[in-house]
Amino acid sequence: MNNSVAKEKIVSLRKKRSLEDMRFKYYGFTAMCLSLAVLVFLLYTIFSKGYTAFQKTIVLLEVDYNQEVLKLTPDSSDEEMEKGKFFRVKKQAIENFFPDLSKSDIKLIKKLFSINLDNEIKDYFLENPEVINTKQQIWVTAHSDVDQLLKGNSRRDVPEDRRKLNDIQLSYVDQLVEENRVKQVFNNFFFTKADSRHPEIAGVAGSFMGSLFTLFTVFILSFPIAIGASVYLEEFAPKNRITELIEVNISNLAAVPSIVFGLLGLGVLLNVFGLPRSTPLVGGSVLALMTLPTIIIACRASLKAVPPSIKEGALAVGATKTQAVFHHVVPLALPGTLTGTIIGLAQALGETAPLIMIGMIAFIPNIPTGLTEPSAALPVQIYLWVESAERGFQEKSAAAIMVILIFLFMMNAIAVFLRNRFERKW
Amino acid sequence: MSNSKILANGVDVYYGSKQALFGISMDIKEKEVTALIGPSGCGKSTFLRCINRMNDLIEICKVSGSIKVDNEEIISSSTDVVSLRSKIGMVFQKPNPFPKSIFDNVAYGPTIHGLVDSKNELEEIVHSSLKKAGLFNEVKDRLNEPGTSLSGGQQQRLCIARAIAVNPEIILMDEPCSALDPIATAIIEELIDELRLNYTIVIVTHSMQQAARVSQKTSFFHLGELIETGDTKKIFTNPDNSKTQDYITGRFG
Amino acid sequence: MEQDKHIVKSYDEEIKDINSKILEMGTLVENQLKDSLNALKNQDTELAEKVILNDDLIDDAYNKLDQSLVEILGKRQPMATDLRTIFSAIKMNKDLERLGDHATNIAKRAALTELVLPEKPTRDIIRMGELVHKMIDHVIKAFLNFSDTEAKKVWLADRQIDEEYLGILRQLLTYMMEDPKRIASCTNLLYMVKDLERIGDYVQNIAEDIYYAVSGEPLIDTNPNPTWEAILPIKK
């Protein structure tokens, strides 16, 4: 071949190659932008729908803590106060909410307040017992329908029979707005209350605690077992067919659909062992099974990443195998294992299907205080709320998603922190 | 003539079905430096690792034959490997201090063997080991800093101090200077020269000059066989075997 | 000679270079001796002067070889045979240079034409010179063939030189005793024969070096030292 022709060919090929290089860079950049856009869209939808759930509407209500109506005296003991007739005070307060109300109007007005009104009146009194025999202006939670109307989530211009609030109620709400007797404040109920049929007093506290207990169970069960299994497989087990089979199956187990684990929990834990259903104990056990392979894989990877020279060094000064492994190898593998564990826990946190199988989908209006109490979990709660018809639950589900996202984000942050904090360079 | 410390007789090593060492018989004298030389993969490191049973770590490795340390057979299932290794220290090719403080690195051996009763005693052992390894003056102000923060040569001396701390009689060195610069190498070589007075040293090295400088006896391995063993002076000026001759003059092909 | 087949090819080249430089040195010295003897034989002052000037050439060759040897030592750090070869080459270089000096000395004395040399001893000296010249030739060949047996042969041949030396010495002493007028010219010859004897010793040294380089063993003389009986009566 002619030398200059060959050179030309090489140059043109080189141009083509660098062009290809450039193109590939842009493909990658585009792909990244696309995924970023999808993520931003998702977050935007959730936040724009959900942020209103962090606010609730409260109404100013004048309450007369009359001792006769309450059937209490200023000297009443705490137990007696607990039993005070607060529903009668409430009734009076509603009757006097607007001057000169008819009976039917009172009924309508009652529906402007949350179901929790008795308790709020009572709690105010219990906190300030000196208000007995005085009239107090207190802020109480409005009904979800009022809340949704004022937040602009439900529309006024639909026909009356397809509205939650009828025309009379609407006019009262407008009057309240005019008199500045309503306002929006931070929704503390969302973080302190368990699930409820009434959106205005439904919160994530119950399911949050349920998730926390479940994760605790997952951690307690899976972390030691996973470390034990990984250390054995990596450091002690003979390399033969059986261990190879186990290794392959651990990887396979990580890919098993979670619902299968749910079935296992249902069939074995509930039916055979008779553990209480809907409890974090059972949910955690099932999720622990699901998380185990993830942690084992992470732990083994980090055990493998520990340079063998460290173990050799320990053995060479006369450490036994167990000493070498537990004094040197495991501590070095721990950050990686912890990261894997947290990722596994995060996975478990988001898991819904197995929990449905073992009954954690039940409606639980209480905040659980132990592992054996029935409780909900965050993802199941979201599922339940999305299913609900009431308008008020829609924003709640979006808000619950935000809570779970922040929870996940924090767990990942902890994972990153732990990795950076304990990771050794050697 | 000094006494025989390690006596190998007909040592065969197999990695699976592949034979790595063929009937090695060798006599290593007390308080001498014996250098094992030979091309890569000739089995010199394998032989070194037979002496403190480090080959046990490799599952497919099978050792047969006899190695006697102080007239005690060590190639047998009844050998107490832990006590054997406390008697035979080892220094590796790449400095491998534990990712702990300098103090803990040296203190680890004495602690697990229960050689010390009190903190003062431990401190004494650590200090004296560091002094013997010629490192004490360089690190005495920062014993709590990680061992990995030292330079390569210092790390290697730390590993030597770690080996000395359990009071061994034999020190095995597997290419201890291959990762070091010439100055650090010279310091280690000087150290080996000093240690020779108290320890029996077996050193694997790729540098013929190093073998010539530090050892009294040299053994040449080739393809798993011990070709020639003898006084270092003799091996490097007038070896008997033509393979040794070819190897040390750089004619191997 | 066994200086090929190194993994590093340039090492082979360097050793070959050393060899050719030694050969050059040897040839120079050999010619120096040959020319000196010719000058003596033919009473050729011109040739003798040329020989004296040629000594500088030998010095140059010596310096060059010396430099190459130092370089190869520093660069290659030779081991075993290579080490012995280089070490021997260093000593051979020095010996050859000294040898050249002695050859030049002979030429210097040959140039003193005002002395009338007695015929018989001069002839004997020239014959002895030729023997020595042959030895040099052999020793260089032994080096080039890297042969310890050849080296040993040369080494043993020195005994003959020593005998010749004693014979001529005796002869010259007799001459001088017979006629004191001859003392001046005989002394001149005495120096020449001493030079030749020294050259023989140097050749013997070189043979020893070659033997060591090849075999790794020093060459030890198993025979008793030649007796000095021949000159004993005169010593009295």
3-state secondary structure string across A119-178? HHHHHHHHHCHHHCCCEEEEEEEECHHHHHHHCCCCCCCCCHHHCCCCHHHHHHHHHHHH
Cβ(B98)–Cβ(A313) below 8 Å: yes
| pLDDT for position C224 | 53
Residue A172: CB partners within 8 Å, gap ≥ 6?
A98, A108, A109, A112
Best of C1, C8, C9, C79 to disrupt the B interface by mutation (most B CBs within 10 Å)?
Answer: C79
For chains B and C, what is the number of CB pairs under 8 angstroms? 39
Cα–Cα distance, A411 to B10 (Å, whole number): 60
Q: Do C6 and B250 touch (CB under 8 A)?
A: yes
The answer to whether residues A298 and A355 belong to one domain is yes
CB contact, 8 Å: B89 with chain C?
Answer: no
Distance from CA of C6 to the nearest CA of B (A): 4
Out of C77, C80, C81, whose CB is closest to B209? Answer: C77
Q: Do B108 and A314 touch (CB under 8 A)?
A: yes
Kindly give the confidence (pLDDT) of every residue in chain A, 426 residues in length, as a single tens digit, with 9 standing for 90 and above: 578 888 999 999 999 999 999 999 999 999 999 999 999 999 999 999 888 888 889 998 888 888 888 888 888 888 888 888 888 888 888 888 888 788 888 888 888 888 888 888 888 888 888 888 888 888 989 888 888 888 888 888 888 888 888 888 888 888 888 888 888 899 888 888 888 888 888 889 999 999 999 999 999 999 999 999 999 999 888 888 998 999 899 989 888 898 999 999 999 888 899 888 889 999 999 999 999 999 999 999 999 998 889 999 999 998 999 999 999 999 889 888 988 999 899 989 988 888 988 888 888 888 888 888 888 899 999 999 988 878 888 889 999 999 999 999 998 898 888 888 876 654
How much of chain B is in helix, strand and coil states, percent to nearest 5?
40, 25, 35
- B79: containing domain: 4-248
Residue A87: CB partners within 8 Å, gap ≥ 6?
A118
The mean pLDDT value for B150-158 works out to 92
Tokens of A388: 């609900």
- Domain contains B253: no
Surface-to-core class of residue C149, CB atoms within 10 Å of its CB (0-12 exposed, 13-18 middle, 19+ buried): exposed
Out of A318, A424, A425, whose CB is closest to B82? Answer: A318
- Domain contains B117: yes
Strands (E) located in A45-134: 55-64
- Asked if chain A contacts chain B via 3 or more Cβ pairs within 8 Å, the reply is yes
Q: Is C80 left (phi over 0), alpha (psi -120 to 50) or beta?
A: left
Q: Do B92 and A309 touch (CB under 8 A)?
A: yes
Q: Do A318 and B86 touch (CB under 8 A)?
A: yes
State phi, psi for B20 to the nearest 5 degrees: -105, -30
Compute the half-sphere exposure of residue A215: CA atoms within 13 Å on the CB side of its CA.
23
Cβ(A363)–Cβ(A206) below 8 Å: no
CATH assignment at residue B204: 3.40.50.300
Edge to edge, the sheet with strand B217-222 lists B88-91, B170-174, B200-204, B33-37, B217-222, B225-231
The answer to whether residues A89 and A177 belong to one domain is yes
Q: Do C6 and B251 touch (CB under 8 A)?
A: yes
CATH assignment at residue A387: 1.10.3720.10
CB contact, 8 Å: C11 with chain B?
Answer: yes
C-beta neighbour count of B90 within 10 angstroms: 26
Q: Do B237 and C82 touch (CB under 8 A)?
A: no
pLDDT along chain C (236 residues), means of 10: 71 90 92 90 87 91 93 88 90 93 90 76 89 91 89 88 88 87 86 91 92 87 57 46
C-beta neighbour count of C232 within 10 angstroms: 9
Q: How do residues B75-116 score in pLDDT, each as one tens digit?
A: 888 888 888 998 999 999 999 999 889 999 999 999 999 888
Give the ipTM.
0.89
The answer to whether residues A158 and A297 belong to one domain is no
Cα end-to-end span (Å), chain A: 54
Cα–Cα distance, A82 to A273 (Å, whole number): 42
Q: Would you state the CATH architecture of domain C9-235?
A: Up-down Bundle (1.20)
Residue located via tokens 């050249």: C100
| pLDDT for position C226 | 55
| pLDDT for position A220 | 95
Q: How do residues B11-52 score in pLDDT, each as one tens digit?
A: 999 998 999 999 999 999 999 999 999 998 888 999 999 999
Cβ(B77)–Cβ(B86) below 8 Å: no
Q: Do B82 and A320 touch (CB under 8 A)?
A: yes
* Nearest-by-CA chain C residue for B252: C7
Out of C5, C6, C80, whose CB is closest to B238? Answer: C80
Cα–Cα distance, A182 to A199 (Å, whole number): 18
Q: Chains meeting C at 3+ CB pairs closer than 8 A?
A: B
- Domain contains B12: yes
| pLDDT for position C236 | 37
Compute the half-sphere exposure of residue B98: CA atoms within 13 Å on the CB side of its CA.
29
Distance from CA of A327 to the nearest CA of B (A): 10
The tally of domains found in chain B comes to 1
* Nearest-by-CA chain B residue for C8: B250
The tally of domains found in chain A comes to 3
**Domain termination residue (choose one: A138, A173, A194):** A194
- Listed by number, the residues of chain C in 145-204 with a beta carbon closer than 8 Å to a beta carbon of chain B are none
Q: Is B70 left (phi over 0), alpha (psi -120 to 50) or beta?
A: left
User: What's the angle, vertex CA B68, arms to CA B65 and CA B74, rounded to 5?
Assistant: 70
Mapping DSSP to helix (H, G, I), strand (E, B) and coil, where does residue B205 land? coil
Out of A313, A320, A425, whose CB is closest to B92? Answer: A313
Cα–Cα distance, A163 to A72 (Å, whole number): 41
Residue located via tokens 């100013």: A60
Q: Is B23 left (phi over 0), alpha (psi -120 to 50) or beta?
A: left
C-beta neighbour count of A106 within 10 angstroms: 15
The answer to whether residues A60 and A47 belong to one domain is no
Overall pTM surpassing 0.90 (yes/no): no
- Domain contains A325: yes
| pLDDT for position C223 | 61
- A408: containing domain: 205-422
Radius of gyration for the alpha carbons in chain B, expressed in angstroms and rounded: 18
Distance from CA of C138 to the nearest CA of B (A): 25
C-beta neighbour count of A77 within 10 angstroms: 8
**Domain termination residue (choose one: A160, A194, A228):** A194
- Domain contains B164: yes
Cα–Cα distance, B161 to B110 (Å, whole number): 12
Compute the half-sphere exposure of residue B78: CA atoms within 13 Å on the CB side of its CA.
2
Q: Chains meeting B at 3+ CB pairs closer than 8 A?
A: A, C
Sign of CA pseudo-dihedral A21, A26, A29, A31: negative
Q: How do residues A371-386 score in pLDDT, each as one tens digit?
A: 888 888 999 999 999 8
| C-alpha dihedral, A218 to A220 to A221 to A227, nearest 10° | 110
| Closest among B12, B94, B89 to B54, alpha carbons compared | B89
Helical pair C183-215 and C80-110, crossing angle rounded to 10 deg: 170
Q: Do C83 and B237 touch (CB under 8 A)?
A: yes
